[in-house]
Structure 1
Amino acid sequence: MKLYYSPGACSLSPQIVLQESGLAYEPVLASTKTHQLADGTDYYGINPLGYVPLLELDNGARLREGPAIVQYIADQVPEKNLAPANGSFERYKLQEWLNFIGTEIHKGFGPLFKPTTPENYKPIALEALTKRLQWVDQQLAGKSYLMGEQFSVADAYLYTVSRWAGFVGLDLSGLANILAFQQRMAQRPAVQAALKIEGQK
């Protein structure tokens, strides 16, 4: 397998999950700025959408969306309990979290990263994002991870996007449960290995 990634992007989430899975894979740097691989290959020829992550299987099949990728990885190693069993109610709760993180948090950061976003809109985007994160903070009360005491692929996604707060001036100091969650995640060997691959801290 190959995972196409760009440092600091949402591809850190499947990078973490692959490390948790123990599956063999090749991380391939695909810059979201130049849209080229290290050897000069045009990344648009691999993913016409131009973004990461993209998982390429050994047979050439490709998956493009992070929430789909992490569930696919989890299902290859069911003994690792990275996701509840398909068809179970808990699996749908996991998908609920993946969808919420993707649409309400991940996409909420979008306007704050775009240089074309009008300055007067950024406070509105920050306020909306803060409200969503406050709700997540409440959901983490008394729990180690989103689904309880068991790490799941949703945690890799939340950790990845919540790290972006520092880059856009979003203050997490009042969100004690999210901060504790981030510290807990940062102590996981798989997270440390994924960050090392991407040259991040």
Structure 2
Amino acid sequence: MKLYYSPGACSLSPHIVLREAGLAFEPVLAPTKTHKLPDGTDYYTVNPLGYVPLLELDDGTRLREGPAIVQYLADQVPAKNLAPANGTLPRYRLQEWLTFIGTEIHKSFSPLFNAAMPDAGKQIYRDRLANRFQFVDKELQGKDYLMGDTFTVADAYLYTVTRWSKPMGVDLSAYANLLAHHARVEARPAVQEALKGEKLA
């Protein structure tokens, strides 16, 4: 398998999951600014959308979108318990979290990365993120991870997007449970491996 990634981008989530799963893969740097792969290939010829992550399977099949990729990876190694079994209510709870993180947190950060966005506009999204993080903080009360005591692919995604808070001026100091979750996930050996692999450690 190949994982097309850009350091610190949302592709860090499936990168973490690949390490947690112990699956063999080749990381391929796909810079989001230049869209040029290390061999000079135009990344748009691999993914017409131009963004990461993209997972290429050994047979050449390509899978886009982080929440789909991490569930696929989790299902390759069910014994690792990175996702509940398909068809169960806990699996739908996991999908609920992945959707929430993707639409309510991830996409709320997007305008903050846009240099053309006025400061007043950015503040609207910072306020929205504060509201969403307040909700997550409450949900994490008394739990190690989003789904309870077990680390899942949703935790990898939440950790990834939460990393953007400091550089984007989003204050998390009021959310003790969220900060504890972030530290707990970051301490995992597989997460440290992924960070080192992307030169983020």
Structure 1 counterpart of 2:69, which letter?
I
Q: Distance in 2 between matches of 1:28 and 1:72?
A: 19
Q: Distance in 2 between matches of 1:96 and 1:186?
A: 23
Structure 2 counterpart of 1:12, which letter?
L
Give CA deviations for 1:26-61 in whole Å, capped at 9, x if unaligned.
Answer: 000000010011111100000000000000000000
Q: Which residue of 2 aligns with 1:155?
A: 155
Superposed counterparts of 1:174-193, under 5 Å: 174-193=174-193
Q: Which residue of 2 aligns with 1:142?
A: 142
Q: Distance in 1 between matches of 2:150 and 2:22?
A: 17
Q: Distance in 1 between matches of 2:195 and 2:90?
A: 29
Q: Which residue of 1 aligns with 2:168?
A: 168
Q: Which residue of 2 aligns with 1:133?
A: 133
Q: TM-score, normalised by structure 1?
A: 0.99
Superposed counterparts of 1:1-201, under 5 Å: 1-201=1-201
Cα shift at 1:69: 0.1
Secondary structure of the residue that 2:36 maps to in structure 1? Answer: coil
Q: Distance in 2 between matches of 1:169 and 1:131?
A: 15
Q: Which runs of 4+ in 1 moved over 4 A?
A: none
Q: Distance in 2 between matches of 1:153 and 1:120?
A: 34
Secondary structure of the residue that 1:96 maps to in structure 2? Answer: helix
Structure 2 counterpart of 1:173, which letter?
S
Q: Distance in 1 between matches of 2:7 and 2:29?
A: 8
Cα shift at 1:161: 0.1
Structure 1 counterpart of 2:160, which letter?
T
Give the length in aligned residue pairs.
Answer: 201
Q: TM-score, normalised by structure 2?
A: 0.99
Q: Distance in 2 between matches of 1:122 and 1:74?
A: 35
Secondary structure of the residue that 1:71 maps to in structure 2? Answer: helix
Secondary structure of the residue that 1:4 maps to in structure 2? Answer: strand
% identical aligned pairs: 69
Cα shift at 1:186: 1.0
Give CA deviations for 1:111-158 in whole Å, capped at 9, x if unaligned.
Answer: 111011122111111001110011000000000000000000000000
What are the ranges of 5 or more consecutive residues in structure 2 without an aligned counterpart? none
Greater CA deviation, 129-138 or 115-124?
115-124
Secondary structure of the residue that 1:58 maps to in structure 2? Answer: coil
Structure 2 counterpart of 1:11, which letter?
S
Structure 2 counterpart of 1:25, which letter?
F
Structure 1 counterpart of 2:183, which letter?
Q
Q: CA RMSD in A?
A: 0.5
